[in-house]
Structure 1
Amino acid sequence: MSSAHKNLSIFKTENLPDISDKKFVILVAEWNEDITEPLAQGAIDTLLAYGAKEANVSKIYVPGSYELSFGAQIYAQKEEVAAVIAIGCVIQGETKHNDYINHAVAGGLTDVSLKYNKPVIFGVLTPNTHQQALDRAGGIHGNKGDEAAITAIKMLGLK
C-alpha cells in the first residue's frame, strides 16, 4: 500500500520486545534537512515512547543519502549497536539521480544488514516532489521516521 493511502505513524504494537537495554544509531542525511530532521525526530520519539533510553539512542550525520550505507556499515559492525536506522530523502527532481542513489542505498543497507545480522532500516523517502516529502515527514501521511523506528523494534523481536 502506498503511503498516500496509509498513515506512516499508525502501526501495530502487539508483542513488541523490551528495548530498554538496546542501543540504536540513527544515521541522518544532511541533504534535504528540512525533511530529514523531522524524520529523525520521529524515529527518536518513537524509540523513546516504546522503551529505549535516551542515552542509548545516538543521532549521527552523514552528508547525503548515498553515504548512509557506509555509515550503516561503520555502526552495524559495533557489537553494542542493536539496530541502525538510516534516514534520508531523495526527491525525483529533473534528473534520474534519484534512481541511481535510491537503488544504491537500498542495496547497500540490505547488504550491511545481512553482513552483520542486525536490523538496518531503510528510512529513506523517495518522493516525486518536495511537498510529498513534507507530507511523509510529519505531514498528512504521518512520519516515515516513526515507521522506521517501529520497524527496527519489531525486527529486534525476531532475534
Structure 2
Amino acid sequence: MATPGNSSLYNIDTGILKENACVILVKTEWNAAIVDALEAGCKKIFDTYKIRYQTLVVPGAVELPFAIKRHWERNKETAAAPDAFIALGCVIKGDTPHFEYVCDSVTQGVLQLNLLLPVPTIFGVLTVNTEEQARERIGGIHGHKGAEAAITALKMIHS
C-alpha cells in the first residue's frame, strides 16, 4: 500500500533548484472537487519552492496526453517552454469496463510522453474504486498525491 511513511519522496535534497523553473498542470473537468484538491496540493509545493506554474483544463483523462503534447509543440522553442508537466485527474470505477479503458489510455499516453518529450510528464491521475478512496489521497491516510506529484516534478527537473 502506498502510504506517506513508506517513501522518502518528501525528502527534497535536490540541492540548488533551477531558477525560474516552470511546470504546466493539465487537469480534467471530471471529478472537479478531487482534481481541484490535487491542483491545490501542487500549488502549495510550488509556492513553497517559488516554482512558476500554469494550469490548463481538459474535459477528461483521455484528453490529458493530447493537451500536453500540443502545449509542448506550441511552446518548445519559446521562453514559455515548460520544464515539466503534471497530468491531474481522477477516474472512479463504475459498473462498466469504461474505467479500465480510460485508465489504460491515460497511463499509456503519459508513458509515451515521457519517452517522446525532452521534459518529464508526471502521472498525477488517481485511479480509484470509490470517491472515498480518492479523498484518502488528497490529504487523508494516503497522503496528498497532488503534493507528491509536484515534488516528483521538482526532482525530475533537477535530476
Instruction: Answer yes or no: same fold by TM over 0.5.
Output: yes
Counterpart for residue 60 of structure 1: 56
The letter for the 1-side match of 2:68 is: A
Is 1:75 equivalent to 2:71 in the alignment?
Answer: yes
**Cα distance in structure 2, aligned partners of 1:125 and 1:16:** 30
Letter in 1 for 2:67: G
- What amino acid maps onto 2:96 in structure 1? T
Q: Are residue 6 (structure 1) and residue 7 (structure 2) matched?
A: no
1:126 alignment partner, SS class: strand
Residue 48 (structure 2) aligns with = 49
Q: Which runs of 5+ in 2 are unaligned?
A: none
Q: Confirm or deny: 8 A CA contact 2:122 2:149 kept in the other structure.
A: yes
Aligned-residue sequence identity (percent) comes to: 36
CA distance 1:28–1:16, shift in 2 (3 Å): farther
Equivalent position of 2:17 in the other structure? 18
Q: Which runs of 4+ in 1 moved over 6 A?
A: none
Whole-Å Cα distance in 2 between the matches of residues 62 and 105 of structure 1?
13
Q: Which amino acid aligns with 1:118?
A: V
Q: How many residues align?
A: 153
Is it true that 1:30 corresponds to 2:29 in the alignment? yes
Counterpart residue number, 1:144: 145
Question: Aligned letter for 2:106?
Answer: V
Q: Determine whether 1:107 maps to 2:108.
A: yes
Query: Per-residue deviation at 1:143?
Result: 1.2
RMSD between aligned alpha carbons?
A: 1.9
**Structure 1: 5+ residue runs without aligned partners?**
none
Q: Are the equivalent residues in 2 in contact too, given 1:84–1:121 (CA < 8 A)?
A: yes
The 3-state SS of whatever aligns with 1:81 is coil
Q: State the shift of 1:110 in Å.
A: 1.5
Q: Partner of 1:98 in structure 2?
A: 99
Distance across 2 between alignment mates of 1:114 and 1:41: 28
For the residue of structure 2 that corresponds to 1:90, the secondary structure is strand
Q: Report the TM-score, using the length of structure 1 for normalisation.
A: 0.88
Q: Displacement, 1:95? A: 1.6
* Alignment-derived partner of residue 155 in structure 2: 154
